[in-house]
Structure 1
Amino acid sequence: MSFDSLLGIDVGFSQSRPTTGIAWSLAGTVDSVKTHSDWERRRQKIPPATTFSVIAIDGPLTPPNAPDDLARLCERLFIRGAFHTRCKPGLSHHGYGRLLRKATTETAAQVAHLAAAAPVGPSVIPGTAIIEAFPNAFLGVLIADERFALSKAAKRKKFDWLYDHALESGVFAELLTFIGWNDGRVLERVTVERDHERRAAWICLLTAACAAAGKAEVVGDEAGGWIWLPPAALWAGWARRALAENRAAQMCSRPLARAARQTQPPLL
């Protein structure tokens, strides 16, 4: 396998500030930058390449025909139980989430011509190796249960709190070894990074690497899209249990919802 043509993008969509983080592995180099949301400035920062074998984007990627108010299964599975206070997503079918969904769609369209034509797994964009990253959950599922009892991060600082605890617990080195990306430069750059957006971009790049290695855990469905996460073998016990519980609860709720609809009186 090759990790030599990967791209990670943390969307960010401020019109005035550089809130887009971009990280890449290409032609023997690994690097990251921070830039703006428009393609004119983004393209100046992305290194020229024929194609990237995987592009991972931090933001909700939905099928082209998905309605704006679609409640995504992949988000519902991480919104309840232990995930709720540790690494839940924002729901993308209302409020701020819709704006992020739109910005993510625009970002994917901007870079679609740079993506390999061979998908690495489930994809909402036909014929492209573009996948959805979720940095909070990517980090959260790797962190042991007892660390969450040490202290709690404010909502706005949650990602950096997770990132710092991942550094302290050594999960990055373990992950890179597990997927076979034995490049000390990657671990060094991830370890020393302090910028919020570039940190998120590095996690997107690691998401792309897990996909390239064929070892990512993919959660979701065809209707709403999929979130790509670290290999299940590396997940903390609490995270594996929480996902199994949420999947079971989701399966139970579906027949109940259908039964409720069938027993409703007809509209007059």
Structure 2
Amino acid sequence: MGVATLKETRSDKLLGIDVGYSLSRPTTGFAWCVDGNFGCARTHSDWDRRQRHIPASTTFSVIAIDGPLMPPDAPDDLGRFCERLFIRGAFQTRCKPGLSHHGHGLALRKAAAETAAQVRHLAAAPMIAKSVIPGAAIIEAFPNAFLGVLLENERFTMSKAAKRRKFDWLYDHAVESRVFDRLLRAIGWNNETLLQKVTTERDHEKRAAWICLLTAATAAAGKSEIVGDDAGGWLWLPPAELWAEWARQALAENRAALSASGATGS
């Protein structure tokens, strides 16, 4: 785990993307901040329709994409250290990722790579640590874990969500427990307009896009916790001081277990 830094601590041009790879349905979400204005949209996977929902002539200081982002030379069958950290222990039933080196996970990995290629020309040169996309400030968001690590243990003793509705369950509990209020204060982004948009959003893809935007904002503020390694890429998560105690403990335990097995990472 490490702390991400930017040469400048604030940015007014940020983009968050929830990757959707359906060829027929609008399953991609976009959320952006440009000069203090915020917007969100849901669209399709092709660039022709995606670009209509992105503010024109904008270079984004940070773009956060919800999808596995790998170094260009990484093999398709590479198991990622960052994913292995979150598929065991307490994370397993709370906010684990899907493994991205086979099945649907591999399809999402390819869709994320295609999305990064589509928007690479919109990204500023990387001023952030741990960028895996050469020459571009594009990072990986993980909305389930971004929300999950911020929720107290008691939230998970309540009624459980069905697996396919896990993200919306996490989002609803984040709103109820005022997670977004604390996060925006922590990153110095106290904006009532944004807070209202995020906390009243009901659309699944747009919700995910807002979390991607908050991931980008956290990185721009120099407050992200980044977990992973150079070989498999990095997950960008909320500031460590906001993590619930169970999440800190679970990550430490998982890191120790993987280290004992010979795995490496940060």
Q: For this structure pair, what is the TM-score category when the shorter chain's length is used for normalisation? A: over 0.9
Pairing 1:31–2:8 present: no
Find the counterpart in structure 1 of residue 87 from structure 2: 79
AA in 2 matched with 1:254: G
Contact 1:173 1:187 in 2 (8 A): yes
What stretches of structure 1 move > 3 A for 4+ residues in a row? none
Contact 1:119 1:127 in 2 (8 A): no
AA in 2 matched with 1:21: G
Give, in whole Å, the separation in 1 of the partners of 2:239 and 2:10.
17
Find the counterpart in structure 1 of residue 5 from structure 2: none
**Residue among 13, 38, 48 paired with 1:40:** 48
Judge which range, 203-212 or 182-191, deviates more: 182-191
Q: Which runs of 5+ in 1 are unaligned?
A: 256-268
State the superposition RMSD in angstroms. Answer: 0.9
Contact 2:11 2:220 in 1 (8 A): yes
Find the counterpart in structure 1 of residue 107 from structure 2: 99
Find the counterpart in structure 2 of residue 140 from structure 1: 148
AA in 1 matched with 2:201: E
Pairing 1:250–2:258 present: yes
Find the counterpart in structure 2 of residue 228 from structure 1: 236
1:89 is paired with a residue whose SS is coil
Q: What is the CA deviation profile of residues 187-230 of structure 1, one whole-angstrom value per residue up to 9, with x for unaligned ones?
A: 01001100000000000000000000000000000000000000
Give, in whole Å, the separation in 2 of the partners of 1:50 and 1:44.
13
- Which protein has greater RCO, CA pairs closer than 8 Å, 6+ apart? 2
Question: CA offset at residue 4 of structure 1?
Answer: 1.1
Find the counterpart in structure 1 of residue 19 from structure 2: 11
Identity of aligned residues (%): 72
Q: What is the CA deviation profile of residues 58-83 of structure 1, one whole-angstrom value per residue up to 9, with x for unaligned ones?
A: 00000111111100000000000000
Find the counterpart in structure 2 of residue 210 from structure 1: 218
AA in 2 matched with 1:115: A
1:167-182 to 2 correspondences below 5 Å: 167-182=175-190
Contact 2:13 2:58 in 1 (8 A): no
Give, in whole Å, the separation in 1 of the partners of 2:146 and 2:58.
28
Give, in whole Å, the separation in 1 of the partners of 2:43 and 2:213.
16
Contact 1:61 1:101 in 2 (8 A): yes
1:186 is paired with a residue whose SS is helix
Give, in whole Å, the separation in 1 of the partners of 2:161 and 2:17.
24
2:261 is paired with a residue whose SS is helix
Pairing 1:116–2:124 present: yes
Find the counterpart in structure 2 of residue 58 from structure 1: 66
Contact 1:73 1:221 in 2 (8 A): yes
TM-score by length of 2: 0.94
Question: CA offset at residue 50 of structure 1?
Answer: 3.3
1:82 is paired with a residue whose SS is helix
Judge which range, 25-34 or 222-231, deviates more: 25-34
Give, in whole Å, the separation in 2 of the partners of 1:150 and 1:238.
15
AA in 1 matched with 2:145: A
**Residue among 163, 181, 190 paired with 1:155:** 163
Give, in whole Å, the separation in 2 of the partners of 1:254 and 1:113.
38
Question: CA offset at residue 51 of structure 1?
Answer: 0.7
Contact 1:119 1:130 in 2 (8 A): no
2:45 is paired with a residue whose SS is coil
The alignment of Structure 1 onto Structure 2 pairs a total of residues equal to: 255
Q: What is the CA deviation profile of residues 226-264 of structure 1, one whole-angstrom value per residue up to 9, with x for unaligned ones?
A: 000000110000000000000000100018xxxxxxxxx
TM-score by length of 1: 0.94
Question: CA offset at residue 128 of structure 1?
Answer: 1.1
Give, in whole Å, the separation in 1 of the partners of 2:220 and 2:186.
13
